[in-house]
Structure 1
Amino acid sequence: MSEVESGRMRVAEEVSSALAGGGAVVALESTILAHGLPPGRNRKVAASVEDAVRAAGAVPATIAVLDGRLRVGLDGADLDRVCDPDADLAKLSARDLGPALALGRDGATTIASTTLIANAAGIGVFGTGGLGGVHLPAPGQTASWDVSADLDVLGSTPVAVVCSGVKSVLDIAATIEVLETRSVPVLGYRTDTFPAFYRRESRFGVPWRVDTPASAASVVAAHRSRGPGSGVLVVNPVPAEHELDADLHDRLLAEGMARVAASDVRGGDVTPVLLEHFHTASGGASLDANEALVLDNVRVAAEIAVELAAQRPV
């Protein structure tokens, strides 16, 4: 695959050409491939996600850091490398990009770092799984200072992010409050409630609802017309047929929280422990839900990107 290189960034020619021609491009993260899915399945999902974006009429741009360069758009060999468990890719949030580039480390990008790189490359729409948020307080605490960098980056970067809300292992109410404080519009895509990743609904509403890609694109365009500022969060519930059973979900969450308390797990280690328990104790049901919602989110993101391209003045 030919590439266009500028400074520390390499953009795949297909992505660069689409952007130059005003076409629709969707950014995709690599952390879900390197750290979120088991080997073998991750490579299949990598291909399925890019296929879903193309089927909706947009160009996929999977993002990672390889060979000391920000890479925007990966070929098959690159995706093999990202999905290889022996490749030892670091998990790179926004704060980690500088060190990784300077030290020549390979890494998979999170929502925060993918958003920053997408914006730097001129990509305005990003499809992913679940947004990071405010963590629940550790046992014995009344509040948590553990807040995902995803929220601050979304609050200062004009990229539209399509996801399935935040995982129920996080503090959903506090997360929604932080989004409001950061002036991030939250759009429920065909829903009036904020989704909780594995579950289609939480007990929290969304301030705005949109029912078509065109209406979502219009909101994004209007928000951007105010000048540089925050991104837009579009929350799209997991497809109904893949929603995790409520009783199973609640049992797994309670068991996972008990395990966290018993092991004195804290900070950023809490969510991985909880999610690993979901994956193993659900018999794979949570992995199926994860894959299904990611595929649906990137489809919606691509449809919004296509509408944004069509609405752009000639």
Structure 2
Amino acid sequence: MDKAYVALESTVIAHGLPWPANFETAVAMEEEVKKNGSVPRTIGIIGGEIKIGITRDEIKYLSTAKNVMKVGTAEIAVAVALKKDAATTVSATMKLAAREGIEVFATGGIGGVHKGVEWDVSQDIVELSKTNMIVVSAGVKSILDVEKTLEFLETFQVTVVGYRTDRFPLFHTRFSKFPVNITVNTPEEIAAIFEEKKRLGIEGAILVANPIPTEYEIPHYELMKYIETAITEATSKNISGKSLTPFLLNRLGELSDGKTLEANIALLKNNAALAGQIAKVLKEL
């Protein structure tokens, strides 16, 4: 590839943020990638056509369209075959980006193991285990069972590194009782590890845990109160599967008087900026 590319997901546009914050944030993430020396490629499916780099008009369309599917890797073929509009989650974005040779991807937080349900494990973990990519995230959403999610990542041999931190961040907050065994301090170190994984033939992604900027984080104790309330409500309403995360994030925004939304936007832009730096270094290598 002649340029340094960064993949961006479209679920944040169609399902993760309200209008007009979804459109504005998607555009801002692309600008952060550009400012840091790389080319953004926001991925989505429109009318059954896979788009590796949707236009501003298409971003706006996904921001406002109704009945947009939320697809993981398992549902990509369904959206294409039935000519649906679809927003790609972490797993689907990774799969489609890898087909185009894109090796760096910026998201908010990956999916994992949900709390309070017998079995709800995201496709993201499986895709991370087998697709060669650098995935920049703010850890996992604090609505998840973090301990079980980290155990799954270890079991599935996903390389997890903390960017300038020895604690695993929890999306809206930098604090976590969970340690990160590997700390990296520069984009160059991340790129070097990725290149060595490829040289050794070791499959799977590097998950870069990039904490939310300090000025935007929500104190851990405060966040936990909101989460407990939101999970209790979701359980009482029998909300699960793909509907669970959007419901919980929406309720967190309401319960926090918009603070979680502001934090969400800040971490997405922060991750896009770091991904742009990594992709530029990787291309230079």
Alignment of 1:96 with 2:81, yes or no, is no
Shift of 1:99: 0.9
Amino acid at match of 2:199: S
* RMSD of aligned alpha carbons: 1.3
Shift of 1:309: 0.7
Q: Deviations over 1:187-222 (max 9, x none)?
A: 100000111111102111112100111111111111
Contact 1:146 1:268 in 2 (8 A): no
SS of 2:140 mapped into structure 1 = coil
Q: Larger radius of gyration, structure 1 or 2?
A: 1
**Equivalent residue number for residue 15 of structure 1:** none
- Structure 1: runs of 5 or more not aligned: 1-18, 139-143
Alpha-carbon distance change, 272 to 77 in structure 1, aligned in 2, over 3 angstroms = closer
Aligned length: 285
Amino acid at match of 1:119: A
Q: Which has the higher contact order (CA 8 A, sep 6+)?
A: 2
Shift of 1:167: 1.1
* d(CA) in 2 for partners of 1:271, 1:81: 22
Of 199, 204, 213 in structure 2, the residue corresponding to residue 230 of structure 1 is 204
**Equivalent residue number for residue 242 of structure 1:** 216
TM-score, normalised on structure 2? 0.96
- Structure 2: runs of 5 or more not aligned: none
**Equivalent residue number for residue 211 of structure 1:** 185
* d(CA) in 1 for partners of 2:254, 2:116: 24
Of 86, 94, 101 in structure 2, the residue corresponding to residue 115 of structure 1 is 94
Shift of 1:261: 3.5
Shift of 1:235: 0.5
* d(CA) in 1 for partners of 2:244, 2:42: 27
* d(CA) in 2 for partners of 1:265, 1:43: 26
- Kindly report which structure 2 residues correspond to 1:134-283, keeping only aligned pairs within 5 A, or say none: 134-138=113-117, 144-227=118-201, 229-283=203-257
Q: Which runs of 4+ in 1 moved over 3 A?
A: 264-270
Shift of 1:251: 1.5
TM-score, normalised on structure 1? 0.87
Shift of 1:87: 4.2
Alpha-carbon distance change, 294 to 77 in structure 1, aligned in 2, over 3 angstroms = same
- Identical columns (%): 38
SS of 2:235 mapped into structure 1 = helix
Of 105, 108, 116 in structure 2, the residue corresponding to residue 126 of structure 1 is 105
Amino acid at match of 1:71: K
Amino acid at match of 1:66: I
Amino acid at match of 1:29: E
Of 25, 28, 31 in structure 2, the residue corresponding to residue 51 of structure 1 is 31
Alpha-carbon distance change, 165 to 273 in structure 1, aligned in 2, over 3 angstroms = same
* d(CA) in 1 for partners of 2:221, 2:260: 13
Of 61, 71, 81 in structure 2, the residue corresponding to residue 81 of structure 1 is 61
* d(CA) in 2 for partners of 1:134, 1:224: 28
Amino acid at match of 2:120: D
